[in-house]
Amino acid sequence: PVKVTERPSGRQGRKGPGGEGRARTHRPRRRPQPPPGAAPRRHHRRRHFAGSPQRACAGPPLPPAPLSGWIWTRECQKEIEKEKNEYYRKHSSLQKDLEAKYRDTITESRRAVAHLELELEKERNRTLSYREALVSQSRKLVEERRSLEQEQEKLEREKQVLLRSGAAGNLYQSCLAKEEEWQKKANALLKEFEDGLKERQEIYCSLVVPRSQRLEIEKNLLVKAATDPVALDLHMESGLKDIFKHDNYCGNLLNRSRSQNGRLMWLYLRYWELAIELQKFKRVEKAMLGKR
């Protein structure tokens, strides 16, 4: 038979000098008691094992210090190069946009300048044509005035001849007195046209009076010239249209006199005055020849 021997328990003490085994007693450690009224504290002993979650959350092992510095410097250089490239790209794009806008602005400005120069040249040509037309019309009126003065002198001589004769002189005096009444009416009408033309030219030279008032005056003058018998005999409608189209002369800004505005209108008024005088003698002549 096998003999089984029993091992002494770990809790059994070594044999003393007396040869008897002495048992080891475990005394519990006394913990400090919390003060009265304090919350109880729990003591946990953290044990980290190889497969514990605390060990797993610690992350991979860090590389050595020189190697980590080299990696960090490399990454920083890459980021810096990336930001530089992005900045240069944005800067180049912005510069191209600004240059394109600048070129467009320069092109528009040059186009506007060319258009304004063309309009200015047109206005110069138009002003030159108006000036030439005004000079030509003035010369024409001067020639007509000279011819009317010659006609007036001729009629005056005929008048003197008729006055020296007896019956013809009486007939001439009666016809002349009758036609002088017509001349007074014609001069009164001419005075109305003169006042209207003065007012029209003053509005034309004014910087504050609206243009509609001038157009209304021109319309009324043209209507009167087209309906009045005396104005029809003097052909005043065509002269008024010529004045409205070409007479653009104005005095200085401090001018307060209406008589200093306009040039062509005064030539026409003088022409119509002589035409009334000539028309009077023609009517006298026509009346005398009709009575004979």
DSSP characters over 47-95 = ---TTSHHHHTT-SPPPPHHHHHHHHHHHHHHHHHHHHHHHHHHHHHHH
Domain membership flag for residue 85: no
Length of the chain as a residue count: 292
Count of structural domains, the chain: 1
Whether 116 is in a domain gets the answer no
Quote the pLDDT of residue 216.
92
Q: Is residue 136 part of a domain?
A: yes
Q: DSSP letters of 179-226?
A: HHHHHHHHHHHHHHHHHHHHHHHHHHH-SSS-HHHHHHHHHHHHHHHH
The model's pTM:
0.46
Helix, coil or strand: residue 22 = strand
Cβ(276)–Cβ(190) under 8 Å? Answer: yes
The closest of 146, 247, 150, 231 to 197, measured between CA atoms, is 247
pLDDT in tens, 230-270: 888 888 998 899 888 888 888 776 667 777 788 888 989 99
**208 in a structural domain:** yes
Q: What percent of the chain has pLDDT over 90?
A: 10
Residue 44 DSSP class: -
Q: Which residues contact 178 (CB under 8 A, 6 or more apart)?
A: 287
Q: What is the dihedral of CA 247, 252, 254, 255, to 10 degrees?
A: -40
State the residue for tokens 């180049």: 92
Q: Does any domain span residue 107?
A: no
| pLDDT tens-digit series, residues 134-169 | 888 888 888 888 888 888 888 888 777 766 666 666
Task: Give the pLDDT score at 191.
Answer: 92
Q: Is the pLDDT of residue 195 over 80?
A: yes
Closest CA to 248 of 139, 137, 84: 137
Do residues 162 and 172 make contact, with C-beta atoms less than 8 angstroms apart?
yes
Residue 247 resides in a domain: yes
- Structural domain containing residue 166: 122-291
For residue 55, pLDDT beyond 80: no
Which tens digit of pLDDT belongs to each residue from 92-131? 889 888 999 998 989 988 889 998 988 888 888 888 888 8
Phi, psi angle pair for 57, to nearest 5°? -80, -5
What's residue 28's pLDDT?
56
Name beta bridge partners: 15: 21
Please provide residue 13's backbone torsions phi and psi, each rounded to the nearest 5 degrees: -80, 170
User: Within a domain: residue 66?
Assistant: no
In a domain, 87, yes or no: no
Q: How far apart are CA 170 and CA 150, in angstroms?
A: 25
The token duo for 231 is 């104005």
Cα gap 151→281, rounded to integer Å: 10
Backbone torsions φ then ψ of 230, nearest 5 degrees: -65, -45
Please classify residue 268 by burial: count the beta carbons closer than 10 Å to its beta carbon, then call 0-12 exposed, 13-18 middle and 19+ buried: buried
